[in-house]
Amino acid sequence: MGRPGAAAAGGKTIEEIYQKKTPLEHVLLRPDTYVGSIEKHTQTLWVYEGGQLVNRAVTYVPGLYKIFDEILVNAADNKQRDPSMDAVKVTISVEQNTISVYNNGDGVPVEVHNEQGVYVPEMIFGHLLTSSNYDDNEKKTTGGRNGYGAKLANIFSTEFVIETADGKRGKKYKQVFSNNMSAKSEPAISSCKSNENWTKVTFKPDLAKFHMTYLEEDVVALMSKRVLDIAGCLGRTVKVELNGQKLPVKTFSDYVGLYLASAQKGKEETLPRIYERANDRWEVCVSLSDGQFQQVSFVNSIATIRGGTHVQHVSEQIVSHIQEIVNKKNKNANVKGFQIRNHLWVFVNSLIDNPAFDSQTKETLTTRQTSFGSKCELSPEFLKKVSKCGVVDNVLSWADFKQSKELKKNDGAKRQRLTGIAKLDDANDAGGKNSEACTLILTEGDSAKALAMSGISVVGRNHYGVFPLRGKLLNVREATHKQIMDNAEITSIKQILGLQQGKGYENTKSLRYGHLMIMTDQDHDGSHIKGLIINFIHTFWPSLLKVPGFLVEFITPIVKATHKNGKVLSFYTMPEYESWKESLRGETKGWSIKYYKGLGTSTAKEGKEYFRDLVKHKKDFAWDNDEDGDSIELAFSKKKTEARKIWLRGYQPGTFLDQTQRVITYSDFINKELILFSLADLARSVPSMVDGLKPGQRKILFAAFKRNFTSQAKVAQFSGYVSEHSAYHHGEQSLASTIIGMAQNFVGSNNINILAPIGQFGTRSQGGKDHASARYIYTSLTPLTRTIFPKPDDILLNFLREDGQSIEPFWYAPILPMVLVNGSEGIGTGWSTFVPNYNPRDIVTNLKHLLRDEQLEPMDPWYKGFKGTIVKSATKESGVSYTVTGIVEQVNETTIRVLELPIRKWTQDYKEFLEALLCGTEKIKEPSIKDYREHNTDTRVHFEISLSEEKMAEALAEGLTKKFKLSTTISTSNMNLFDKDGHIRKYDTPEQILEDFYHIRLELYVKRKEVQVENLQYELLKLDNKVRFILGVVKGEIVVNNRKRAELLVELKTKGFTPFPKKAKASDLPVVGGDGSDVEADDEEKLNKGVRAGDYEYLLSMPIGTLTLEKVQQLCNERDKLEGDVEELKKCTPKDLWEKDLDNFLEQLTV
């Protein structure tokens, strides 16, 4: 360290380098710290001149403006000290360089301050760091706080006069300060009346210190505007004068009106003025701003020109309300809060306790909202008025403009060479002079592209390009802006076609291609892809759909019938094929059938054949009228949900698109083809009330029963079997996932899994997503499955046919409604569904009540293995809500234990939530737990959570369940299911489902009994015939050796033996690739007297070793047993049969 007093670098002494200044010297030396800059600044500000507010460029010195403001705010503050104050008078004299500010009300106490030994007026106007606002324990709504204020005006004035009348003490005070507060006169004390109370400050700014020679016009206009501010803030009870003229402002609303009058000059539209006095401390007014947030705000009469926490407090409420409305009206807008703020002009007049600012210039309020001393809670009526003042429309228009502008970034252009788009095979003439003759073929996947490429080898590459789609195109009508921007496929199509955002097209001359051809599979999903492409064009370029021949589709056969003589027939719709098949009247010999659901089924040779006959395979889409646009919107807009339900309900079975027509209108496509996809999508998503299964699950169960799936097999292998035997047309991965889902049995999944989980099928840790690959896990039917779906019912079911083979039934008929046992959820076209799980024992109990004509017991949701509580929380006409709560308990003052999570809140997700509480996130700013420990298993939840005592107290006050998110709600208000006839129906209670199911199932038990009795009697008759036959052979009455078979058959008929012909299966056409199990060739000739060879096969096929008396006795015993069974069955009622099945089910369920 250097020696004190030693010379420093540059020759200066330490004393010259390090100096101590008095507070007064420091203010003059460093004015920026106290009053802001003392240099001239030019910026656009509001000023008051000519009786109106004007927004213009102003050149002024911030420091000078600040000292004037301090005196003015002092005058306004007096209104808070003395509510009787009713006058403020301001005089600005340019000629005399004098400013005076007068206010009535309580004057400054004219009394000597005992501690300081000077009069109070001198102390507070002439001594730095003195104030009446230092006691922070006392809540004050005045502007002053730090003890500089008016003294700064004194310091920067050549003369400063303080005058005050203190009626309480009967004294009047006057004192003159000069030379920047460095000199002062002795106070002049005189008497005054008791009702005389006022204060007046007159000062002459030291213009030299502000580099000025006189009070310039801009400065005066700015000061005049501040006087106007005071008039607006103080309102009706205070009359404000400027230079002897009363200002035309009585209220804050009047004050705002001056801004709006100025802003709307030259404009046709009037700016709205939405005003509310929230309470005694808050006045708010809102209008519209054009693209940039504007605010005019005051805190205790101080103009906070940069806003602050008070403006944030008000604007957040407005923004939040508008944001909710905007994002409801246009869910794709994704408008952020700051973007809404840019369309608002907010005016705030507030009184804040002990306000804190970012600096002595007091431009920004920094006080926390919790310390305001009051809240500004805007009323719903006010917010409603704001939302209707035009701001919502402005924001929506801005959002549309912004999105359209951004979408233009990936516009296409008409150019011949296009690079960088993978898998595009461009037409040679695309983008050139012959571009109108070019056709872009959009195909469903790469295999379809291969077929198209084979086909265009016939017509050449000059006018045909091909681009494969990766699955389904995005529904742009409901997609977010980000989704559209990020979608590479949409960008590619725009580039390939040369489409430009927002452009209207009367023809295709400006495009790279004159035609767009859609080539998809002939199934429901193919129809959906066509619809999505139409929707894409209609959303952004509706005029293109009106251009004749622009949009076309390429159709391929759905079925081909080939005769052995070489004749080939192609069918483009199933109704067309069925009609032809019926016309054969069973004469199917020589014909074979091949189904073409996917374009990949067609060979390259067939592809070339299609393109040789383009006229037959190409169909033009045509715009007929506005109904076409309405139909497209109906199918794809979320706003049309209710209309879409009516559309789907109005479907007439047998409706199909006539593919013989050359031209297809868009409304015909939507109403006759796309509707089939929508219905199929709904069927895939919503289960049947009868069996609780969706089609994919039903196919799996059908295949399991057909295979007699009691021996375990890999899920991957079984999924292949399901695809082969049930005409499953979707992905193998999707099928494997469904199989796994049917076998899962962790908490929150199935109450009764109908497939066995042999291996890792997933746990409650990740909601089943942690299952092993389908290649490694095994499954089979559980023993309970056939108890629930009895085999005797199979013969009663309505089995469907597809692709020429018998597949799953329309629905299975379990002995209890499985949709209640395992619940269900799904989202389809028009409808979604959610059915909670219920206790199978409760269901059986209620079924028995119905069987005995007793009252049903209300059922509440129940999940196997769940240890928490499910409590009814609300009952409405549409259904009941339940609160599902986990288990949490306090161990000690710093530890809690979580032992159960709400249904479908998975362990891993909860662990991530705890980590957020531990480390904090954007939403959770402050960590609220110290640590947590895990003792979880694959079936059990056990977290131990450590908190500080302070955080524990907060958690207990809030409620542990709420704090740690251990409750959710489920509801029965959305139980949409297909009824027995395949119509969608809404059920309000589980009891409604149970009653509907009861009548269907009971009717089936009646039929089952009839069929079982009939079958038993059939078997009895067969046994009688067998006994007679064996005895006839034993006694020599019937000779079977060395005889012609035909003679023997005639003899059996003559002797009265009952013929039991083999049951002939429905005659059908052989299907290419089928297993032949459903087709039976019956070329047997009728023998003499109408006897067929199979009529007595049941007798003639008996082994020769059984034609004995011992066999006769055995058959007689069997007959006696069967007769007993028949009698016992006849005695049972259908209800008895059902109750017996239910008892058997409960017995096995317990095991």
List the beta bridge partners of residue 535: none
Residues of the chain within CATH 3.90.199.10 domain(s) are: 689-813
pLDDT above 70 (res 81): yes
Query: Are 593 and 560 in contact, with CB atoms under 8 Å apart?
Result: yes
For 837-971, the fitting CATH number among 3.40.30.10, 3.40.50.1820, 3.30.1360.40, 3.50.70.10 is 3.30.1360.40
Task: Give 121-143 as a 3 state SS string.
Answer: HHHHHHCCCCCCCCCCCCCCCCC
DSSP states of 920-988: --SSS-S---SEEEE---SS---EEEE--HHHHHHHHHH-HHHHTT-EEEEESTTEEEE-TTS-EEEES
Classify domain 689-813 at the CATH class level: alpha beta
Q: What per-residue confidence (pLDDT) applies to 131?
A: 52
Higher pLDDT, 416 or 252: 252
> Span 428-447, mean pLDDT?
92
Query: Are 248 and 241 in contact, with CB atoms under 8 Å apart?
Result: no
Q: Which of 440-449, 563-572, 823-832, 887-896 has the lowest mean pLDDT?
A: 563-572
The confidence band for 8, taking pLDDT boundaries of 50, 70 and 90, is very low
For residue 456, give Cα distances in angstroms to 451, 516, 605: 9, 15, 12
The confidence band for 595, taking pLDDT boundaries of 50, 70 and 90, is confident
In sign, the C-alpha dihedral spanning 464, 467, 473, 477 is: negative
> Span 734-749, mean pLDDT?
94
Residues of the chain within CATH 1.10.268.10 domain(s) are: 1002-1136
For residue 298, give Cα distances in angstroms to 75, 259, 282, 371: 15, 15, 10, 17
The DSSP letter of residue 879 is: E
For residue 752, give Cα distances in angstroms to 784, 1001, 1062: 9, 20, 39
Position 146: which residue type? N
The confidence band for 908, taking pLDDT boundaries of 50, 70 and 90, is very high
Q: Yes or no: is domain 268-404 CATH 2.40.50.100?
A: no
pLDDT above 50 (res 1080): no
> Span 353-359, mean pLDDT?
87
pLDDT above 50 (res 9): no
Residues of the chain within CATH 3.30.565.10 domain(s) are: 26-246
> Span 164-173, mean pLDDT?
92
Residues of the chain within CATH 3.40.50.670 domain(s) are: 411-554
pLDDT above 90 (res 589): no
Higher pLDDT, 163 or 143: 163
> Span 1080-1084, mean pLDDT?
42
Backbone angles phi, psi at 487, to 5 degrees: -85, 105
Q: Yes or no: is domain 26-246 CATH 3.30.565.10?
A: yes
Q: Which of 136-145, 326-335, 370-379, 849-858 has the lowest mean pLDDT?
A: 136-145
pLDDT above 70 (res 48): yes
Indicate the average pLDDT of the chain: 87
441-477 residue pLDDT tens: 999 988 889 999 999 999 999 999 999 998 889 998 8
The confidence band for 99, taking pLDDT boundaries of 50, 70 and 90, is very high
pLDDT above 50 (res 735): yes
pLDDT above 70 (res 419): yes
| pTM for this predicted structure | 0.68
Q: What per-residue confidence (pLDDT) applies to 471?
A: 83
Q: Which of 18-22, 212-216, 570-574, 722-726 has the lowest mean pLDDT?
A: 18-22
Task: Tell me how far apart the alpha carbons of residues 619 and 658 are, in angstroms, rounded to a whole number.
Answer: 11
pLDDT above 70 (res 698): yes
pLDDT above 70 (res 1078): no
Task: Tell me how far apart the alpha carbons of residues 569 and 208 are, in angstroms, rounded to a whole number.
Answer: 105
Residues 6+ apart with CB under 8 A from 699: 722, 726, 727, 728, 807, 808
Position 112: which residue type? V
Q: What per-residue confidence (pLDDT) applies to 860?
A: 94
988-999 residue pLDDT tens: 999 999 999 999
pLDDT above 80 (res 649): yes
Q: What per-residue confidence (pLDDT) applies to 1074?
A: 55
Residue 175, Cβ neighbours under 10 Å: how many? 20
Higher pLDDT, 483 or 890: 890
Task: Tell me how far apart the alpha carbons of residues 1051 and 1048 are, in angstroms, rounded to a whole number.
Answer: 5
Q: What per-residue confidence (pLDDT) applies to 336?
A: 83
Higher pLDDT, 513 or 236: 513
Tokens of 1029: 């036959």
Listed in sequence order, the DSSP H helices in 727-839 are 732-743, 785-788, 818-822
The confidence band for 891, taking pLDDT boundaries of 50, 70 and 90, is very high
Position 616: which residue type? K
Q: What per-residue confidence (pLDDT) applies to 2?
A: 45
Catalytic site includes residue 776 = yes
251-301 residue pLDDT tens: 999 999 999 999 888 787 889 999 999 998 999 999 998 888 999 999 988
Task: Tell me how far apart the alpha carbons of residues 421 and 406 are, in angstroms, rounded to a whole number.
Answer: 20
Higher pLDDT, 316 or 1061: 316
> Closest Cα to residue 750, out of 734, 762, 736, 758?
762
Q: What per-residue confidence (pLDDT) applies to 1017?
A: 85
Q: Yes or no: is domain 411-554 CATH 3.40.50.670?
A: yes
Task: Tell me how far apart the alpha carbons of residues 672 and 676 are, in angstroms, rounded to a whole number.
Answer: 7
Q: What per-residue confidence (pLDDT) applies to 969?
A: 94
Residues 6+ apart with CB under 8 A from 291: 342, 343, 398
For residue 630, give Cα distances in angstroms to 501, 623, 633, 643: 22, 11, 5, 11
Classify domain 1002-1136 at the CATH class level: mainly alpha
Task: Tell me how far apart the alpha carbons of residues 349 and 57 are, in angstroms, rounded to a whole number.
Answer: 25
> For the chain, what percent of residues have pLDDT higher than 70?
92
Q: Which of 31-35, 198-202, 528-532, 928-932 has the lowest mean pLDDT?
A: 31-35
Looking at 776, 863, 910, 1005, which residue is catalytic? 776
pLDDT above 50 (res 169): yes
pLDDT above 50 (res 133): no
Q: Which of 529-538, 627-636, 707-716, 1034-1043 has the lowest mean pLDDT?
A: 1034-1043
